[in-house]
Amino acid sequence: MDNNICRSNNPLLEREWLEFNKLGAYSNSTICGMNNKRYHGLLVVPCNGLEKWANVLAKFEESVFIENRLYEISTNCYEGSIYPDGYKYLKKFNFLPFPKFYYYIEDRKIEKTIFLQQDKNILIIRSIPTQASAPAWFPSLAHSANPGLSINVLRQHARARGW
């Protein structure tokens, strides 16, 4: 295996997005969601002014179940390999007004939006189907850089035609 696979010329693995709020908190990662820098995290909040930072939510391991098939849309880099390789489903990315990711799996289009509330340290991640012919389910596993911290995940289930 190539030990530099995580440092390839693929812009999905190298280019970053950044969202921040008025309180100094931020959300930042690569376009494909692979945290390859120490400062990457979905919810990083300042502690003691701006001298220290707490990575409250490092990332989500995201999957999509479609008709009893699992598609992992997360991307991680391990010693010489990338697993899962969810970046291959990511077909489009916009960062205005919020980071928005467009995944294409089979005949489904999934839109994920990340929004950091401006006046509170609250992160909202919304994944919705934009087109489908069969039901899908979006399980996720939260990872915190602080092991003693509990993370509350609120799931909103929206029903759309065909889902």
Domain ranges, ordered by start, for the chain: 5-143
Please state, for a pLDDT cut of 70, what percent of the chain lies above it.
Answer: 72
pLDDT at 163: 35
Average pLDDT over residues 92-112: 90
pLDDT at 23: 92
pLDDT (tens digit per residue) in 137-150: 665 656 555 555 44
**Per-residue pLDDT at 79 exceeds 50:** yes
Average pLDDT over residues 120-143: 72
As given in the structure block, the two tokens for residue 99 are: 């980071």
pLDDT-based confidence at residue 132 (cuts at 50, 70, 90): low
Please state, for a pLDDT cut of 90, what percent of the chain lies above it.
Answer: 33
User: Which residues on neighbouring strands pair with residue 111, listed in sequence order?
Assistant: 102, 128
pLDDT at 161: 37
Contacts with 40 (C-beta within 8 Å, 6 or more apart), sequence order? 16, 28, 29, 30, 58, 59
pLDDT at 103: 92
As given in the structure block, the two tokens for residue 124 are: 């909202």
User: Which residues on neighbouring strands pair with residue 60, listed in sequence order?
Assistant: 142
Contacts with 7 (C-beta within 8 Å, 6 or more apart), sequence order? 13, 14
Average pLDDT over residues 110-116: 91
Give the residue among 31, 86, 59, 63 at the shortest CA–CA distance from 140: 63
pLDDT (tens digit per residue) in 27-72: 999 999 999 889 999 999 998 776 788 898 898 888 888 888 889 9
Give the residue among 86, 84, 130 at the shortest CA–CA distance from 110: 130
Average pLDDT over residues 100-112: 90
pLDDT at 156: 41
| Stated pTM of the model | 0.79
In this structure, what DSSP letter does residue 14 have? H
Contacts with 115 (C-beta within 8 Å, 6 or more apart), sequence order? 19, 98, 123, 124, 125, 126
